[in-house]
Amino acid sequence: MSNGKNEFAVFGGGCFWCTEAVFDELRGVQSVVSGYAGGTTRNPTYEQVCSGQTGHAEVIKIEYDPSQISFRELMTVFFATHDPTTLNRQGNDAGTQYRSAIFYGNDEQKQQAATFIKELESAKTFKSPVVTTLEPLTEFYPAEDYHQKFYASNPYQPYCQYTIPPKLSKLHKQFSQLLKSHGKAG
């Protein structure tokens, strides 16, 4: 998906507080919005999505500059910073709203994602099969304001302290060349 110069990617990798914190640090990423996709309820609330009855997943919508970071690089970070082998679960978060999913905006994204997953499987990157779904993005609903930039605003919240720093540590170790701060004095 594109808005002219920038493009969009929508990923579901468990709690959107966690995925937002990771992708906010990548160069070329203009914005990351937490929200909901993949369900049937129009304009769902957090409580409705948490009930598991809407069919939505917690997702992030990433606006990025493809001249600075590619969709493939975004997928590489996505697959490295969550567990794509657990069905409807990330850690203690369980339910379809936490499923691993790529919501593609066009056929090119769908094809790239399918190829990428096949490469992961062929390389036996994970001990278990990848269960990440490829789903068409029919609608994206931004989450409530209090969910946006949640980790940046609530770094000492116990859930965040437990789940997000390990993801960020992995990001910094494995993908330092993709970070906004890469090459900047410290």
Proportion of the chain above pLDDT 70, given as a percent: 95
Whole-number pLDDT of residue 1: 61
**pLDDT reading at 183 higher than 70:** no
Whole-number pLDDT of residue 175: 97
**pLDDT reading at 186 higher than 50:** no
- The residues annotated as belonging to the active site are 15
32: nearest Cα among 59, 63, 56: 63
C-alpha 149/C-alpha 18 separation (Å) is: 10
Proportion of the chain above pLDDT 90, given as a percent: 93
Q: How far is CA 83 from CA 88, 92, 151, in A?
A: 10, 12, 20
In which element (H, E) is residue 179 found?
none
**pLDDT reading at 164 higher than 90:** yes
C-alpha 16/C-alpha 5 separation (Å) is: 25
Average pLDDT value for residue range 60-65: 98
Residue pair 121/17 in contact (Cβ under 8 Å)? The answer is no
C-alpha 64/C-alpha 27 separation (Å) is: 9
pLDDT band at 181 (very low <50, low <70, confident <90, very high): confident
Whole-number pLDDT of residue 63: 98
Q: What is the average pLDDT value for the chain, to the nearest integer?
A: 95
Average pLDDT value for residue range 31-43: 97
Whole-number pLDDT of residue 185: 41
Instruction: Give the chain's domains with CATH numbers.
Output: 7-178 (3.30.1060.10)
Whole-number pLDDT of residue 123: 97
Residue 186 identity (one-letter amino acid): G
**pLDDT reading at 78 higher than 50:** yes
The predicted-structure confidence for 2-29, as pLDDT tens digits, reads as follows: 556 999 999 999 999 999 999 999 999 9
Q: How far is CA 147 from CA 25, 44, 122, 166, in A?
A: 17, 14, 37, 20
- Collect all residues with Cβ–Cβ distance below 8 Å to 71 and sequence separation of at least 6: 7, 9, 109, 112
**pLDDT reading at 184 higher than 70:** no
The predicted-structure confidence for 84-114, as pLDDT tens digits, reads as follows: 999 999 999 999 999 999 999 999 999 999 9
Residue pair 170/80 in contact (Cβ under 8 Å)? The answer is yes
**pLDDT reading at 57 higher than 60:** yes
